[in-house]
Structure 1
Amino acid sequence: MANDIKHIVFDIGKVLIHYDPHIPFSRLIPDEAERNWFFANICTHDWNIEQDRGRTWADAEALLIAQHPTREEHIRAFRKNWHEMVPHAYEDSVAIMEGFINEGRDVTMLTNFASDTFREAQERFPFLRKPRGVTVSGDVGLIKPDIAIYETHTKSFDLDPAATIFIDDAPVNVEGAKAAGWNAVLFTGADKLRADLATYGLKA
């Protein structure tokens, strides 16, 4: 069983690159309580995930500005300052991925990401072009943990689900992959990832 893994699928945000919207907003809204309120009530996770599903930033901004006209500048700042939210790669995780690619293993990526910001990320982090391919939620109009996005990835890259392992930082997305018949591990750091992969016969 352990050596039957033929396909390795990586998530991107918080697995290969860091993501934290508080980075630019700690400057734009210095008061921590107000900043937390802003993310809890205006530029929320649920609002942002719809851009990952394919909604345009223009539509997303217009929706919030109509509801919170006095917050227009901060609402527009989310996309405008997105580049600051992804300040660096996780070099140890990237090394694991590149090691598998260099060994000739089949590596792809599956990510909840808006189409435009993903292309921006690829320009800044060239290793995102190294795997065989990627399913970007914003391109296909589906988001993890919807089983349909895993099935789309399976079909797009001709994967055998039982021979596939997925690495993601969100427990709900790991469970989604398992529901699609994949093997999956929760990413909490490179050392734990190496140990988890070793149980599947993958030396990282």
Structure 2
Amino acid sequence: MASAISVVLFDMEGVLTHYDRNARTGRLAALTGATPEAVRHAIWGSGLEARADAGELAPDDYLAALAGLLGCAVTREAWLDSRHASIMPNEEALVLARRVARRHRVAVLTNNCSLVTDYLEYLNPAVAELFGSDIYGSAMFGAVKPAAQTYLGCVRHLGAQPAETLFIDDTEANVQGALDAGLQGYRFVDADALGARFVQLGLID
């Protein structure tokens, strides 16, 4: 039997917000003069983004490495501008999170570097306002989901227990990683199904 839930831990992109990689690559290409294909390879194909998300690169080192791969300057402002272009709030999911937050603690665990979490009020104001200081990027824990240390580090930081933490993500591997780490898990498909699950669990009326 599942333990009572004291914390609901949300993934950000794919759950609370929609994420448009094409908008991000197109915007950074326009700002730097690189091609979208070059930007896409530099960020994801090279493994650079994964290294930053795992906390292996400080922000300035990440931006310098990105500039090196693209062969042009990449300012922090340009990076943030392009990242902002990729994010659109999922209003229905945010409504559910607000309802849960009336009676339970809510937090965010996202596979992202500190450039995202440090500038979230600009990048994603709706999430920043709702979750406040309880927004955690994987870089803080030295690994990305679905590594157990990412979930467990976040849960410890929250002062919670894994078995009493419900983790919600749109990626099956990340949900399974949470389950393997001892958390409860739910795969997000849409807000209607999530709302029904919250009702079943007694998290909302």
Paired AA for residue 158 in structure 1: G
The equivalent of 2:92 in structure 1 is 92
Q: Quote the offset at 1:184 in angstroms.
A: 0.5
- Once residues 201 and 3 of structure 1 are traced to their aligned partners in structure 2, the CA distance between those partners, rounded to angstroms, is 12
- Once residues 174 and 24 of structure 1 are traced to their aligned partners in structure 2, the CA distance between those partners, rounded to angstroms, is 26
Listed as ranges, the matches of 1:8-47 within 5 Å are: 8-26=8-26, 28=29, 35=36, 39=40, 41-44=41-44, 46-47=47-48
Q: Does residue 117 of the first structure (1) align with residue 119 of the second (2)?
A: no
The percentage of aligned residue pairs carrying the same residue is 26
Evaluate the alpha carbon distance shift between residue 24 and residue 164 of structure 1 in structure 2; reply closer, same or farther with a 3 A threshold. closer
Could you report, residue by residue, the CA deviation over 1:53-107 in whole angstroms, capped at 9, with x for unpaired residues?
A: 23234323433554553xx368986555221111x211111110111112x2121
CA contact (8 A) 1:174 1:184 kept: yes
Paired AA for residue 10 in structure 2: F
Alignment TM-score, normalising by the size of structure 2: 0.78
- Once residues 158 and 90 of structure 2 are traced to their aligned partners in structure 1, the CA distance between those partners, rounded to angstroms, is 25
Paired AA for residue 110 in structure 1: L
Could you report, residue by residue, the CA deviation over 1:23-82 in whole angstroms, capped at 9, with x for unpaired residues?
A: 1434647xxxx745752x33216321222223234323433554553xx36898655522
CA contact (8 A) 1:43 1:75 kept: no
Query: Structure 2: which 5+ residue stretches go unaligned?
Result: none
Query: Structure 1: which 5+ residue stretches go unaligned?
Result: none
Listed as ranges, the matches of 1:1-204 within 5 Å are: 1=1, 4-26=4-26, 28=29, 35=36, 39=40, 41-44=41-44, 46-54=47-55, 55-67=57-69, 69=71, 72=72, 78-86=79-87, 88-102=88-102, 104-123=103-122, 124-131=124-131, 133-203=134-204
Alignment TM-score, normalising by the size of structure 1: 0.79
- Once residues 188 and 195 of structure 1 are traced to their aligned partners in structure 2, the CA distance between those partners, rounded to angstroms, is 12
Q: Quote the offset at 1:203 in angstroms.
A: 3.2
Count of aligned positions: 195
**SS of residue paired to 1:95:** helix
Over aligned residue pairs, what C-alpha RMSD do you find? Answer: 2.9
